[in-house]
A and B are shown apart, each in its own frame.
Chain A
Amino acid sequence: MPADKPLYYLSIHEAQQLIQSRQLSPVELTRSVLERIAAVDGKLHAYINLMADSAMEEARVAEAEIVGGNWRGPMHGIPVAVKDQLDVEGAAARIRQFTKGVGDATAVRRLREAGAIMLGKLHMSSLPDADLPVPRNPWNTEHITGGSSTGSGAAVAGGLCLGSLGEDTAGSIRNPSAFCGLAGLKATYGRVSRYGLAPLSWSLDHCGPMARVVEDTAHMLQAIAGHDPQDPTSSTAPVADYASALREDVKGMVVGVPRDYINECAPRTESIVLKLMDKAIDELKSLGARVEEVKVRTLHLATISNAVIYYNEFWAAHKSDAAWVLKNGAAQRRARIYLGILTNSADYIQAQRVRSRVRAEFAEVFRKVDCLALPCQTGPAPLLKDMGPIDTLFKHVVPEYHGPFNLVGLPTLSVPCGFSENNLPIALQLVGKPFDELTILRAGYTYQQHMRWFERKPPI
């Protein structure tokens, strides 16, 4: 057992080895995380529904199973928590308000079947409960975690769970992962079931893991990936062995850099982000990757296309509760309804046509490269006091680094690549071919092991 590390800061990968070899009990691990929650969640505000009693009971069951020789796999006995947008039995997503939850969302059910311990539900942006405090960034509690998987960012980085399921429609896994120094994986659209995920935008929503290291996202994805007949967009493509990607080897890998697009986003990107991205790309090169500049000609229209589809589908998905939202809802939700209702059918169809064009251009680029590398944020996590209620929406309508990959459904991984001068995390984004999560996991893992940014822990 790592002597210098509290149990709540073990990675899933470390904990599962200790649990499997019976050096660590799921009960002991869960108790340590619950004590951590009691000690610091008053400052971080990650949890909105803590299920401490049932978590301890699940941990006792897991312990008995493992002692009895029935170890289910890497997630067995691992304490996790989920973004509130996912339904959990007895705790439907709060943004549903006027519709029923489904019990456990498929991704939640699969985590349970893999033996994970459910600690509870985590805060997200734009909850109907306006009085809930906003989660704080464990690296500096004056700063935001990024959204909309706000609670997931705070909880994983702060040691309040070992991993979390987030949801990403325009960066909501990758942004808080980047701001909080985590590995965040948005797998290919269709790879993880959306059943039981309260919709923001059906064709853009992705459910995926947020964890402290790349290997943990691989273990979580293994548990939740695969066809689900209850999600009409779920893929029947075979599920890979994601742990097989966890080897340090990028020799010969061709990494594409969409330099023109990065330059287009540069006026809105802080120089430290660009500097650390270039350093990370140089590191990949020094490890044996070949780097090539690539151009995706219509990429500059991908962010606005993503926004058009997002807001129009949001309006359609939330039409039945729009009267309540416009009267009582959070500013971001009200604004999305206004923008959605202003979007006409020609706008929506044009965005879908651009979507096809951009997808075809990516397909062309991926004939020459194995993955893409670009920034994962425009700057370090902003100060909470500087954030207006709808600032995030401004990011969604001008070229940026997240929305394009929701639009085309490609898998992307956020990996820490350094820190700002005031000790806030910065991340690199790796993008893969459809259903080729293995390549970005391998590239991210190799880089991570070489740089070891994960060894730094937040001062909370």
Chain B
Amino acid sequence: MEKALEQCLTALLAREGLEPKEGDLEQFSKIIELYMSTLKTLHSVNLGAEELGPVFKPEWTGK
């Protein structure tokens, strides 16, 4: 895992009084890196001025 990403994760955990289990950062490096790269894809879409919608509204009928 990239050093900066590892430091970021460790700092965020420390802020919550937590620390990673020994070996986890190495074991989970692939999924963490894949996740972080797909987050970039998520932000790549141009949503213009569209606002945050509410969580799914059950009464929505799709019509």
Residues on A lying within 8 angstroms of B by beta carbon are 188-191, 203, 233-237, 298, 301, 304-305, 307-308, 311, 319, 322-323, 326-327, 331, 334-335, 338-339, 341-343, 346-347, 349-357, 359, 362-363, 366-367, 390, 393-394, 397-398, 408-409, 433-435
Contacts and interface: CB of A to CB of B under 8 A. Distances in A.
Contact of B42 (A322, A351, A363): A351
B52 A356 contact: yes
B55 A233 contact: yes
Most A Cβ at <10 Å: residue of B12, B30, B39: B39
A455 to B, nearest CB: 36
Contact of B50 (A338, A353, A398): A353
Given A189-B58, A341-B9, A398 B38 contact: yes
Contacts, number: 134
B39 A304 contact: yes
Interface in B28-63: 28, 30-32, 34-36, 38-39, 41-43, 45, 47, 50-53, 55-56, 58-63
Contact of B32 (A234, A339, A359, A363): A339
B13 to A, nearest CB: 6
B9 A331 contact: no
B17 A323 contact: yes
Contacts of B28: 331, 334-335, 338, 390
Contact of A354 (B19, B47, B60): B47
Contacts of A322: 16, 18
In the A-B complex, list the 5 residue pairs whose CB atoms are closest, starting with the nearest: A356-B53, A235-B58, A190-B58, A409-B56, A363-B62
A24 B47 CA distance: 59
B55 A203 contact: yes
A337 to B, nearest CB: 8
A359 B50 CA distance: 13
Given A353-B52, A355-B53, A433 B21 contact: no
A341 B53 contact: no
B20 A326 contact: yes
A334 B24 CA distance: 8
Contact of A342 (B19, B24, B36, B61): B36
B25 to A, nearest CB: 8
A434 B20 contact: no
B47 to A, nearest CB: 5
Nearest to B34: A397
A397 B13 contact: no
B31 A339 contact: yes
A134 to B, nearest CB: 19
Contacts of A350: 42-43, 47
Contacts of B17: 323
A308 B58 CA distance: 22
Given A341-B13, A347-B42, A327 B21 contact: yes
A346 B47 CA distance: 13
B56 A203 contact: yes
A353 B50 CA distance: 7
Nearest to B15: A341
Contacts of B52: 349, 352-353, 356
A379 B40 CA distance: 28
A236 B51 CA distance: 26
